[in-house]
Amino acid sequence: MKITERSKARRGYTRSGGLGKLGRGVAIALMTGIAPLALHASIDREASYEPVSPTVDQARANILIARQLQFTHFRDLSIDDSLSSEVFDAYLDYLDGQRVYLTQQDLERFEPLRFGLGAALKTGRLQPGFDIYNTVQQRVIERLEFALELVNQGIDQLDFDRDESLLLDRSEANWVANQQELDELWRKRIKNAVLAQRLSDKSDEDIEKSLKRRYESQLNRSRQARSEDAFQAYMNAFAGMWDPHTSYFSPRTSENFNINMSLSLEGIGAVLQGDNEYTKVVRLVPGGPASKQGQLQPADRIVSVTQEDEDTPVNVIGWRLDEVVDLIRGPRNSVVTLEVIPASASDDSMTRTIAIKRDQVKLEEQSASSEVIQLQRDGSNYRIGVITIPTFYADFRAMQKGDPNYKSTTRDVRQLIDELEDDGIDGLVVDLRNNGGGALHEANDLVGLFIDEGPTVQIRNANNDVQVLTDQDPTVSYDGPMVVMVNRMSASASEIFAGAIQDYGRGLVVGSQTFGKGTVQAVRPLNHGQLKITQSKFYRVSGGSTQHKGVVPDIEIPSRVDFSRIGEDALDHALPWDQIEAVPHTRYFDFSGIIDQLRKNHDERFATDPEFQLLQQEIDFLTEQRAQDYVSLNADVRAVELQQIEDTRLRIANARREIQGESTFETLEELEDWQTAQAADPDGQEDELDFILREGGHIMADMLELDRRLASIGAMETIAAQAN
């Protein structure tokens, strides 16, 4: 059947046919006895490409990488048969993560290499890895040619009345047995791509053009694979056995990494990484264009890129990361439009279009800022100071020049504290939500603003040597009660600060469990590219690591973020949590006497506050969508499912507008047009008080009401001395 035009035009939230997971660069070489499967008789061989081969420079770099991993990485691993087997599996997952290109027959041909990769990697013999890589590339080309062949036959030949479904995530599925089963899988994948676009009110003619353009683009790039693509993929699968933050940078990737670290290039202010055939957003740079625009989110995957002077999107599925980065970069004030699969999407066919004006990330836009929350509770008025810290920054150039007024997190926060205390605040909330870290010494110095003096963090290297960073300044900028707000995107230096405040009993940590990035990397030059390698690990003054577990809040607030996809514990081969000896430190206040009542008060507010209830509805909705394993390929069933999703989105959005006293939207299109207009003018948006931040203020007020001893750090020190 053919779906008739729906009354709703899909403008801001559309669907497109994703193609599963393609390896980060794949190539073809049929050597060392790995025989290819026969191509379809109808597939044209004329445009096949030449197999890629390793170079002498790559072999030398491989030997250096193997030595550095064995002898200098924090994790002690031997390159033995067991590791060889794990590299084999990880490499295949790297190249065919969604298991849509290879068959069980291919795996049987690869199997003799399983226990030989380790010995080969130690000695720079790269050919086995290249053989696997090149055979996968052959399969990629075959699949894309099959897809084009099917589309060319006419999508009107597809039957959408059948009761069929498609598994959304095949990362844990078995590889199909043979080519015939792979053909059937791809027939369903193409049906899903067509159905998704029909539900977006696209004509069959436009759908065919779109799919042909996408598959032909991927096919052309697959035929142009380079030796460096194979080497980088193989080395990253190998290095990833030690931990997910250890990786190889090719010479071109090294150049991009160095540019990104200097923040000197104009763009959208997003950190990207390869995720099989997609480019994924890792995090947004605070104060950058994407962060200010507000629609792009961590874990979103980029499908296409459109320049402002072009009408046709460039599909980037299957592109190399450096090429996608180059496409997104551009001159200041120009607009780039990204089509992304949102992290919250129920399947890969659901995309959102986001227009972002390129600009430079300015240091002042990353700076800490402050405000005052006024709360009225049972006849009492509370003034709660809030300091928001987007990142841990320091103007290193100004420091090196000897500028006494250089900008830094600690200097700025000290000044903001003085201003807030002059304003007569009763307590302080430090907001570290979405703060991905930054300068380690700033985290150390910032802790020092709230304690007399003492250790702030421990750093252990691979030789078990422990370095303790300390605050040696006895002055205290703020000695009153504190709450530190965190969420899943609070990482690294944020976790060091929050963990120290918690260990010292200096304040309460409120929010959701943090990211868990508790490792330190160094970038080491090779003869060919660079190796980013994990060399040490952070530990709190209480002895527990921030790695893997992150910081667990004293009072938890639910989050929309999918913890199974974002966070250190969601990454393969992440270093585990462990602990070392604690270092002596003052415990300013023991919250155990009031924490149960604080949690009870919070839960009661949560149960009655309409915004918290709405947050829980959103979380439940997203959880339900993420739990969906299959998508229907029956047009009528799919249309009903899509309508239910749209109705739920509109209902939740309107409920929030009603809470805020604003008019509701009649249709989802009205909502999306409004969201687009808001995103287009981020500077013109009203600054609305975050209800989660407001809850941090209420928790602070609860603390003051339950125990007036929190009024100053001096009182806490007296209590601590009496206890000792």
Q: How many CA atoms lie within 13 A of 554 on its CB side?
A: 29
Residue where the block lists tokens 């994948």: 189
SS3 250: coil
Contact 18, 318 (CB under 8 A): no
Which of the following is catalytic: 21, 191, 292, 517?
A: 517
In SS3 terms, 19-83 reads as: CCCCCCCCCCCCCCCCCCCCCCCCCCCCCCCCCCCCCHHHHHHHHHHHHHHHHHCCCCCCCCHHH
- Angle, helices 610-626/595-608, rounded to nearest 10 degrees: 80
Q: Alpha-carbon torsion 349, 354, 359, 363, what sign? A: negative
| Annotation marks residue 370 as catalytic | no
| Annotation marks residue 191 as catalytic | no
Separation of alpha carbons 298 and 283, rounded Å: 5
User: Beta 454-461 vs 369-377: how paired, if at all?
Assistant: unpaired
Other CB atoms within 10 Å distance of the CB of residue 397: 10
Q: Quickly list DSSP for 94-120.
A: HHSTTS-S-BHHHHHHHGGGTTTHHHH
Which of the following is catalytic: 96, 106, 471, 503?
A: 503
Residue where the block lists tokens 């800022």: 369
How far apart, in Å, are the Cα atoms of 182 and each of 99, 177, 280? 10, 8, 26
- Report the DSSP beta bridge partners of residue 359: 267
- Angle, helices 635-659/610-626, rounded to nearest 10 degrees: 160
CB-based contacts of 42, cutoff 8 Å, min separation 6? 149
Residues, the chain = 724
| Annotation marks residue 131 as catalytic | no
Which of the following is catalytic: 254, 344, 492, 494?
A: 492
Contact 121, 85 (CB under 8 A): no
* Residue 318 Ramachandran class (φ > 0 left, ψ -120 to 50 alpha, else beta): left
Contact 193, 211 (CB under 8 A): yes
Active site residues: 492, 503, 517
